[in-house]
A and B are shown apart, each in its own frame.
Chain A
Amino acid sequence: MAAAETFYDFIRRQGITRRSFTKFCSLTAASLGFGPGAARAMAMALETKERVAVIWMHGLECTCCSESFIRSAHPLVKDVVLSMISLDYDDTIMAAAGDQAEAILEETKEKYKGKYILAVEGNPPLNEDGMFCIDGGRPFVEKLKWMAKDAFAIIAWGACASWGCVQAAKPNPTQATPIDKVILDKPIIKVPGCPPIAEVMTGVVTFITTFGKLPELDRQGRPKMFYSQRIHDKCYRRPHYDAGQFVEEWDDEGARKGYCLYKMGCKGPTTYNACSTIRWNGGVSFPIQSGHGCIGCSEDGFWDNGFYDRLTNLHQFGIEANADKVGLTAAGIVGGAIAAHAAVTAVKRVTSKREKADA
């Protein structure tokens, strides 16, 4: 048993060429918003560092996160990222079953103590001592705590693991609980969405396994590189909002012309996600582009907010609380340095440096 097999050794053994490997590095670096220098750093890390094991567990969930993940348009995902994960443990896509599968967990805990990544899809229900979700003969919450104990960090996939999602919607009979309320002593990175965007998922897992650290997180524990933009700010229907042109009811003239969906309950103004820039299915479209308002699936408690209820109190939704970048208080700006700060922050957000555009 080679003690320190690198990721590069591993994929070479799988028959992936060096050319494909460098291409993977540069594409991934670009999708994470890094320059060409990062691609070299990434290749270097993957060639020299010990391969990071990933364990993927499923609690109360619908597997839409896995479905999304395996459809990442990133050309080499199926070759590279999946082989990085399935080798260890994932109930949905691994070949092992039964006792053999459970033995992988024991082995990983031992062999990679304190070094493996625990990716969790879904959440544990706590009611009735966790009996609403049994995994491998015991309550999922126990298994989760047991695996988390020796993990280096935890990825909370989707709205379920991050916030609770539909199983935690009122009245939450099983007492489904997001994992950061159960695991308190490990770094947790939240990748919310129902499901999260495929390229965001592969980006996050690649970043962590490559660089051996978590990407920069916002106050809610989400990676800033993907969750610092509001749907509303990058929405292609934004000019209609600015011009006061709204869809008043489904299938009216405004709907046909592609007007703003705010009045139909679109949650774009309170939702932080990359849908309006990365889009879905390889960049083909996203919900608003198909004529339906954003339901805010990456925000806490979206099931209880009513998909078609118009956003009424935007203060209450805490725009400022969500946006790290606009560090403004609800108390109100009256001028001076705070106004200048707000202005420069806003301009910085929309401006990209010329050097970057040329590169």
Chain B
Amino acid sequence: MNANLANSDLALAVRKRLEARYRHIHAAMADLPICNPVLSVAATGFRAFGGRAFGIVTTPMNLVALDFPDAPPAARAMGTKVRIGLPTGEVDFLAGELDTIGRVDSCSLLSPVFEFAIMEAAMETAEEALRAFFDPSALEPPPPPAARLKRRDLLRGRFRKHEEAMTE
């Protein structure tokens, strides 16, 4: 979990290890009523991002965005807030740790996840969420129509500014 994550092959390796880890966790939680039996463990879209790996894991318990920072595991107490800048905005993650993986910051998106009738729907939601995290326009309302020039603007000097902007 360090600077080498710029290499996307490593991001793939992270993904494999994560899936294995979460399958293990799920095995211990399978009898709890918080699991949706139609779902299984899958990691979506793990990628290198600013010296860290980022992606979403779907499990029968939850849909959670994970971030692997370039920091030693003991740098922060578990459960403290970590603010991470993503293209779409600032997102608060909670610092945590997973056995065999190390330091992982997580941000819960949905939990529990009984609303999913099939695994594909959960995967699709994970992909859409990932797209929303990396596409700043995904959360924006459609831009307002371009301001129309009013005759009165001529008196306020806005007309000239408009002209200048157009010619640039």
A219 contacts partner chain B, Cβ-Cβ < 8 Å: no
A95 within 8 A of B: no
The reply to whether B89 and A351 contact each other, CB–CB distance below 8 Å, is yes
Q: Report yes or no: A233 in contact with B108, Cβ–Cβ below 8 A.
A: yes
Residue of B nearest to A319 (CB): B112
B80 part of interface (Cβ distance < 8 Å): yes
A236-B94 CB under 8 A given contacts A262-B34, A354-B85, A354-B89: yes
Most buried by A among B26, B62, B99, B114: B114
Q: Which residues of A contact B33 (CB under 8 A)?
A: 310-314
Cβ of B129 < 8 Å from any Cβ of A?
yes
B106 / chain A contacts, CB cutoff of 8 Å: 238-239, 242
CB distance from A255 to the nearest CB of B (A): 15
Across-interface contacts of B88 in A (CB, < 8 A): 347, 351
Q: Interface with A: B46-54, B117-125, B143-151, B156-164, which one? A: B117-125
Number of A-B contacts (CB under 8 A): 154
Cα–Cα, bound, A274→B34 (Å): 23
Q: Mark B99-116, 1 if CB is under 8 A from A, else 0.
A: 100001011111110111
The binding surface of chain B is classed by DSSP as: mixed
Task: Pick the contact of B34: A238, A258, A269, A351 (CB < 8 A).
Answer: A269
B90: Cβ under 8 A from any A Cβ? yes
Bound Cα distance from A347 to B133, whole angstroms: 7
Would you call B95 an interface residue if the criterion is a C-beta within 8 Å of the partner chain's C-beta atoms? Answer: yes
Residues of B within 8 A of A346 (CB): 63, 109-110, 125, 129
Complex Cα spacing A240 to B25, Å: 11
B96: CB under 8 A from chain A? yes
Contact B91 A239 (CB under 8 A): no
Do A339 and B108 touch (CB < 8 A)? no
Bound-state Cα–Cα, A352 to B134, Å: 14
The interface on chain B, measured as residues whose beta carbon lies within 8 A of the other chain's beta carbons, has a size of 57
- Distance (Å) between the CB of B164 and the closest chain A CB? 26
Return A49 CB to nearest CB of chain B, in Å: 31
Decide if A353 is an interface residue (CB 8 Å cutoff).
yes
> A326 contacts B112, CB within 8 Å?
no
B139 within 8 A of A: yes
Q: Hey, which chain A residues are within 8 Å of B139, CB to CB?
A: 344, 347-348, 351
Q: Does B98 contact A (CB under 8 A)?
A: yes
CA A315 to CA B115, docked complex, whole Å: 9
Distance of A314 from chain B, by nearest CB (Å): 5
Which residues 332-357 in A have Cβ within 8 Å of B in the complex? 332-336, 338-340, 342-344, 346-348, 350-354, 357
Are A258 and B79 neighbours in the complex by a CB distance under 8 Å?
A: yes
CB-nearest residue of chain A to B93: A350
Q: Give the residues in chain A near B95, CB-CB below 8 Å.
A: 239
Within 8 A of B (CB), among A288-324: 310-315, 319-320
Known contacts A240-B78, A243-B25, A313-B33; is-contact A334 B117 (Cβ 8 Å): yes
Known: A236-B79, A238-B79, A314-B114. A339 touches B96 (CB 8 A): no
A239 in contact with B96 given A244-B28, A258-B79, A344-B128 (CB within 8 Å) = yes
**What is the CB-to-nearest-CB distance from A301 to chain B, in angstroms, rounded to a whole number?**
19
Which residues of A are found within 8 Å of B124, using beta-carbon distances? 335-336, 339-340, 343
B114 pairs with A330, CB closer than 8 A = yes
Q: How far is it, in angstroms, between the C-alpha of A269 and the C-alpha of B111 when the chains are bound? A: 8
Question: Do residues B25 and A238 form an inter-chain contact, with CB atoms below 8 A?
Answer: no
Known contacts A343-B126, A344-B132, A244 near B96 by CB under 8 Å: no
Report B's interface with A, CB cutoff 8 A.
25-26, 28-29, 32-34, 61-65, 78-81, 83, 85-86, 88-92, 94-99, 104, 106-112, 114-118, 120-122, 124-129, 131-133, 138-139
Chain A residues engaging chain B, CB cutoff 8 angstroms: 232-233, 236-244, 258, 262-263, 269, 310-315, 319-320, 326, 328-336, 338-340, 342-344, 346-348, 350-354, 357
10 A–B pairs (Cβ distance < 8 Å), ordered by A: A232-B111, A239-B95, A241-B111, A332-B116, A334-B117, A335-B121, A346-B110, A347-B129, A351-B88, A351-B91
Q: A238-B94, A331-B117 are in contact. List 19 more A-B contacts (CB 8 A).
A: A232-B111, A236-B79, A239-B97, A240-B78, A242-B108, A258-B78, A262-B34, A269-B34, A314-B34, A332-B116, A332-B118, A340-B124, A342-B110, A343-B128, A344-B128, A346-B109, A348-B139, A351-B89, A351-B133
